[in-house]
């Protein structure tokens, strides 16, 4: 066999490096592998998971391996907050939770986040906004002397309230297993495509372009796809945190929520790995929502026209119809500012970041600001009223018109449409239905909570 000369070997090596570099570049800028098939699990695990999902937990519950429900919680079962359109749907405003964020403060450089729970197993651990503010009181303003010894002057450091609260409602879990399979690369690739497009628009001096959202690196690593703020990258972590925070059930890798006053008991996880695996299996195999065209020709024509307008006015820039091989999801899973800036003279100190004069640590880069929200998937939106993170929009029309901040240009474009076209967009959104094969609740009474 003839041996290549040193020069030929050198050229072959250079070609190999070049081809490898091109291939690496193509992979970096590619959307990655699409989702080819949906989630699956054994019938046995799904059945066991459904039983846990609908089970009404109690303190020292016989199914629990720890102390059962609590010590603080928002519901007694998963089904108690996930029932709209069938088992696994969203919840109404009666099941909202009060989320909070506490900024860094003098003597405490950490940023804290959590939930003011609606219920407690012991009256001494019952939480409320007053209890939260007692734990993290407002910082009063103060005056201090600064400057060198020969030129001292007084500076007033403004006071601030370190607590910011937001009401959030339970999200629908339909299709969660499909979302779990969307790769980080697909999300980042879509974001980069928009960044490239923004450069082109800026060169054309188009100042009406929609701002580009940002990804959040979730607590469990990876791009946050679950939760109103993108708190979890994987469905497994999302379910574990929900169990711990909403039911007070410790999972194998996530301990139960501790009350604002005191600590949680030092007990084993309430769910063992087999139980937790079954619960995740049930949630990830919940059916995906569907697009259902109206039966009458006029309704179909209006919905089809509305779907086209959904694209042209800019809604689909953030509510991306298909992503990572998952069709009809209508989300880019990026964080956006949906509130207008506080007007001059307005009260913007409540929940604001601490004053610079205190030299406290800045907000962590991956902690969303109060006005930032992850683009929610719109599949199934027709069966998930009321709308927005707090359920403050009673209708789809009101939800669209509430989009401000980064979405202001899209809202304006929608409001400039003729009335018939606006109604056509609503007609399209009303085709995004909860899955027809969603399972009914075994016991609908579990959704009735009393505060």
Does a structural domain hold residue 18? no
Structural domain total, the chain: 1
Does a structural domain hold residue 145? no
CA distances from 134 to 1, 125, 128, 299, 442 (A): 84, 13, 10, 55, 41
**pLDDT for position 441:** 85
Confidence band for 33, pLDDT divided at 50, 70 and 90: confident
**pLDDT for position 40:** 96
pLDDT in tens, 195-224: 887 654 544 434 457 899 999 999 899 999
Q: For the purposes of burial, counting CB atoms within 10 Å of the CB of 68, is it exposed (0-12), middle (13-18) or buried (19 or more)?
A: buried
Does a structural domain hold residue 432? yes
Confidence band for 348, pLDDT divided at 50, 70 and 90: very low
Does a structural domain hold residue 152? no
What mean pLDDT is predicted for residues 142-161? 79
**pLDDT for position 13:** 63
**pLDDT for position 58:** 97
pLDDT in tens, 349-373: 444 688 887 888 999 988 999 899 9
| Domain span holding position 366 | 43-128+157-341+348-447
**pLDDT for position 450:** 44
Report the number of secondary-structure helices (H) and strands (E) in the chain.
12, 13
Does the pLDDT at position 68 exceed 60?
yes
Does a structural domain hold residue 13? no
Does the pLDDT at position 278 exceed 80?
yes
Cβ proximity of 248 and 265 under 8 Å: no
**pLDDT for position 151:** 80
The chain-wide mean pLDDT, for the chain, equals: 88
Cβ proximity of 58 and 68 under 8 Å: yes
**pLDDT for position 287:** 98
The answer for residues whose C-beta is within 8 angstroms of residue 316's C-beta and 6 or more apart is 310, 330
Confidence band for 118, pLDDT divided at 50, 70 and 90: very high
Q: Render 89-127 in DSSP notation, one character per residue.
A: ----GGG-EEEEEE--BTTB---EEEEE-SEESSGGG--
Lowest mean pLDDT among 149-153, 192-196, 430-434: 149-153
What percent of the chain stands above pLDDT 70? 86
Give the CATH number of the domain where residue 434 resides. Answer: 1.10.760.10
**pLDDT for position 29:** 56
Tokens of 295: 């039966």
Cβ proximity of 180 and 40 under 8 Å: no
Q: What angle do CA 344, 347, 352 make, to 5 degrees?
A: 110
What mean pLDDT is predicted for residues 380-399? 95
What mean pLDDT is predicted for residues 303-324? 97
pTM metric for this prediction = 0.88
Query: At which residue do the structure tokens 């109690």 appear?
Result: 58
pLDDT in tens, 409-434: 999 999 999 999 999 999 999 999 99
**pLDDT for position 281:** 98
Does the pLDDT at position 316 exceed 90?
yes
Does a structural domain hold residue 437? yes
Does the pLDDT at position 192 exceed 90?
yes
Confidence band for 335, pLDDT divided at 50, 70 and 90: very high
Does a structural domain hold residue 12? no
Tell me the β-bridge partners of 144: 155
Phi, psi angle pair for 137, to nearest 5°: -70, 160
Confidence band for 30, pLDDT divided at 50, 70 and 90: low
What mean pLDDT is predicted for residues 8-13? 66
Does the pLDDT at position 86 exceed 50?
yes
**pLDDT for position 8:** 65
359 or 115, higher pLDDT: 115
Query: What is residue 211's DSSP assignment?
Result: P
Does a structural domain hold residue 143? no
**pLDDT for position 92:** 87
**pLDDT for position 205:** 39
């Amino acid at each position: 066999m003839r041996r290549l000369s040193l020069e030929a070997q050198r050229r072959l090596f250079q070609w190999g490096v070049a081809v490898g570099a091109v291939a690496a570049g193509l992979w970096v800028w590619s959307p990655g592998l699409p989702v080819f098939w949906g989630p699956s699990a054994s019938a046995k695990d799904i059945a066991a998971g459904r039983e846990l999902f609908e089970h009404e937990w109690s303190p020292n519950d016989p199914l629990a391996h720890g102390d059962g429900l609590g010590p603080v919680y928002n519901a007694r079962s998963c089904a108690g907050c996930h029932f709209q359109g069938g088992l696994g749907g969203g919840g109404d405003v009666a099941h909202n939770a009060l989320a909070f964020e506490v900024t860094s403060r003098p003597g405490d450089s950490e940023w804290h986040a959590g939930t003011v729970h609606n219920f407690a197993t012991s009256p001494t651990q019952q939480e409320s906004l007053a209890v939260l503010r007692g734990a993290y009181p407002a910082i009063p303003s103060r005056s201090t002397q600064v400057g060198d010894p020969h030129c001292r002057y007084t500076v007033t450091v403004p006071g601030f309230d370190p607590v910011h609260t937001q009401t959030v409602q339970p999200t629908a879990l339909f299709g969660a297993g499909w979302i779990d399979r969307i790769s980080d690369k697909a999300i980042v690739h879509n974001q980069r495509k928009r960044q490239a497009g923004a450069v082109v628009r800026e060169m054309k001096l188009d100042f009406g372009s929609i701002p580009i959202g940002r990804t959040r690196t979730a607590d469990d690593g990876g791009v946050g796809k679950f939760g109103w703020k993108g708190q979890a990258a994987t469905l497994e972590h999302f379910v574990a945190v929900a169990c711990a925070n909403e039911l007070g059930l410790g999972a194998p890798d996530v301990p139960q929520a501790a009350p604002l006053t005191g600590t949680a008991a030092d007990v084993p996880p309430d769910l063992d790995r087999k139980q937790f695996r079954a619960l995740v299996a049930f949630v990830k195999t919940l059916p995906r929502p569907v697009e259902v065209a109206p039966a009458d020709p006029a309704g179909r024509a209006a919905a089809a026209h509305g779907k086209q307008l959904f694209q042209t006015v800019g809604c689909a820039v953030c509510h991306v119809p298909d992503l990572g091989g998952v069709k009809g999801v209508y989300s880019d899973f990026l964080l956006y500012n949906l509130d207008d800036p506080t007007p001059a003279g307005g009260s913007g100190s409540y929940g604001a970041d601490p004053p610079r004069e205190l030299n406290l640590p800045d907000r962590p880069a991956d902690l969303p600001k109060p006005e930032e929200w992850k683009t929610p998937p719109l599949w199934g939106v027709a069966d998930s009223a009321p709308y927005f993170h707090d359920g403050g929009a009673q209708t789809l029309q009101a939800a669209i018109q509430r989009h401000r901040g980064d979405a202001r240009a899209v809202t304006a474009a929608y409001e400039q449409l003729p009335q018939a076209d606006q109604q056509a967009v609503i007609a399209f959104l009303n085709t995004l239905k909860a899955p027809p094969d969603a399972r009914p609740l075994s016991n609908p009474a579990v959704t009735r909570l009393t505060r």
